[in-house]
Copies of this chain bind each other. A is one copy, B any other.
Amino acid sequence: MDLLVTFESGAPLHRQLERQLRDAIRAGRLRPGVTLPASRLLADELEVSRGVVVEAYSQLIAEGYLVARRGAGTVVAHGAGAGALRDVEGVEHAGGPARIRFDLRPGQPDYASFPRQRYLASLGRAMRTLPDADLTYGDPRGTHQLRVAVSDYVGRVRAAVAEPDDVVISAGLAHGLTNVWSALRERGARRIGVEDPGWRWQVRTVEHAGLTAVPVPVDEHGLVVEALERLDVDAVTVTPAHHFPTGVVMSPGRRAALLEWARRRDALILEDDYDVEYRYDREPVASLQGMDPEHVAFCATTSKTLAPALRLGWIVLPRRLVADVARQYAVTWASPPTLEQVAMAEFLAAGELDRHIRRTRRLYRDRRDALIAALAEHLPQIQIEGEAAGLHLVGWLPSDADEVAIVGAARRRGVALHAIHRHCTCVAPLPPALIIGYAQLPEPALRSAVRELAAVMG
């Protein structure tokens, strides 16, 4: 392989390496099927630490430019050079390869259940009643009506402690995270703890804000707080109610230790209240935020309850951070349209979101049961975890399975699902697994999808 890599000062080395490899693949200088040097070798050659190469490779694997083959090293993916837009997540979805017949991708609610009539009615009322003066730039925290409705809702449903003044409306979770990180950066923060394994946007938003993401291990009790103690981070983001992707619920001992850590360091815990609306066996644990509103920011989104297309979420902030975070929102002004905010305020206050969640919870529980039964019948070698809550479960594969190959083969048969490594940052080794979403498909379709998957896995 003839690859010229040069480093300049400024951008992080792994980013520079990643870019140069991506450009080389796009331009066809690195052809599909070519095996890249082992990370240790390339690191020696470039005189950088091995972590630089590992990070660059991982990112390009996640983007689909490279493929990690068990025993065969890291290989340039077939078709990777085709177009510059391939690696951009949504674009890839949009113009994907074969038509998706069975959509088992995680994090997707049932779109056929979206309450179109009711939501449109709320929009219509908002349009008819909104004062002219509210068509201007509003409060960067969001409209007063929606902040009131959210503070009531999260207090009632999640035992969060929220005054309307401490609520900030965002265009979904990642937008909210980014603005919190930017505010912390301006206050001097440098390092943010992220879950390992964890949702990839935890790392992405931290790096987008110019900070360093520091992986913190997660075990079967949740985030390992002891490890956190040694990492010198200014804040940490966690999914305590339902960890993504494994579904672990943080244990009471760990919750207490985490709060104690935040108090001692005067650090911030960013609680992502992930997928908590759908818990099938018992009541969800209450928010961490309610136990210490001065050290925990609580954030949630309507993407998993209603639809990602709405681009609407919220954060409840410790009082001392509100002005600094609001100032970040006022830089990009990417908050949801006022009309949507006023409509959502009415939708929440009228109890429509509660009703929608009750209806879909029954639907999803039945679908989950059908998926579990079909997996037990056709794919007993898959070990299920994280099925107590949420819109997906984790299917651990035999340790010698090639999750990427399975996902690719399934996709060619019209079954879309995700390998666990696609959807999470993981520094510590993680066995191969599939993430299987079940919210979108009626029970017969779920059974058919599992049969297709079984055919793929032979």
Residues of A within 8 A of B (CB): 8, 10-11, 15, 19, 84-85, 87-91, 93-94, 108, 111-112, 114, 116, 119-120, 123-124, 127-128, 130, 132-141, 144, 165, 170-172, 174-175, 178, 182, 185-188, 190, 201, 204-205, 208, 210, 307-312, 320, 322-323, 326-328, 330-340
Answer whether A111 and B133 are a contact pair too, CB < 8 Å, given A327-B87, A337-B340.
yes
In Å, the complex CA distance between A114 and B339 comes to: 13
**Helix, strand, loop or mixed for chain A's interface?**
helix
The chain B residue with its CB closest to the CB of A321 is B84
- Whether A124 lies near B135 (C-beta < 8 A) is no
Residues of B within 8 A of A172 (CB): 333-334
- Whether B330 lies near A311 (C-beta < 8 A) is no
Answer whether A186 and B11 are a contact pair too, CB < 8 Å, given A133-B111, A337-B336.
yes
- Whether A112 lies near B132 (C-beta < 8 A) is yes
Q: Residue A140 contacts which of B88, B170, B336 (CB distance < 8 angstroms)? A: B88
- Whether B323 lies near A84 (C-beta < 8 A) is yes
- Whether A323 lies near B85 (C-beta < 8 A) is yes
Nearest Cβ on chain B to A434's Cβ, whole angstroms = 19
The chain B residue with its CB closest to the CB of A26 is B323
Nearest Cβ on chain B to A324's Cβ, whole angstroms = 9
Residues of B within 8 A of A85 (CB): 165, 322-323, 326
- Whether A124 lies near B120 (C-beta < 8 A) is yes
Residues of B within 8 A of A91 (CB): 139-141, 323, 326
Residues of B within 8 A of A201 (CB): 331
- Whether B136 lies near A307 (C-beta < 8 A) is yes
Residues of B within 8 A of A89 (CB): 137, 140, 330
Residues of B within 8 A of A120 (CB): 123-124, 127
- Whether A322 lies near B84 (C-beta < 8 A) is yes
Among A137, A204, A308, A327, find the residue whose CB has the most chain B CB atoms closer than 10 A.
A137
Known: A85-B323, A88-B326, A171-B335. 13 other contacts (CB 8 A): A11-B185, A88-B330, A89-B137, A90-B140, A114-B132, A116-B127, A116-B128, A123-B127, A136-B309, A171-B171, A174-B332, A182-B208, A309-B337
Answer whether A323 and B171 are a contact pair too, CB < 8 Å, given A10-B190, A138-B94, A307-B136.
no
Answer whether A111 and B135 are a contact pair too, CB < 8 Å, given A127-B116, A338-B309, A339-B309.
yes
Q: Residue A88 contacts which of B170, B174, B323 (CB distance < 8 angstroms)? A: B323
Residues of B within 8 A of A140 (CB): 88-91
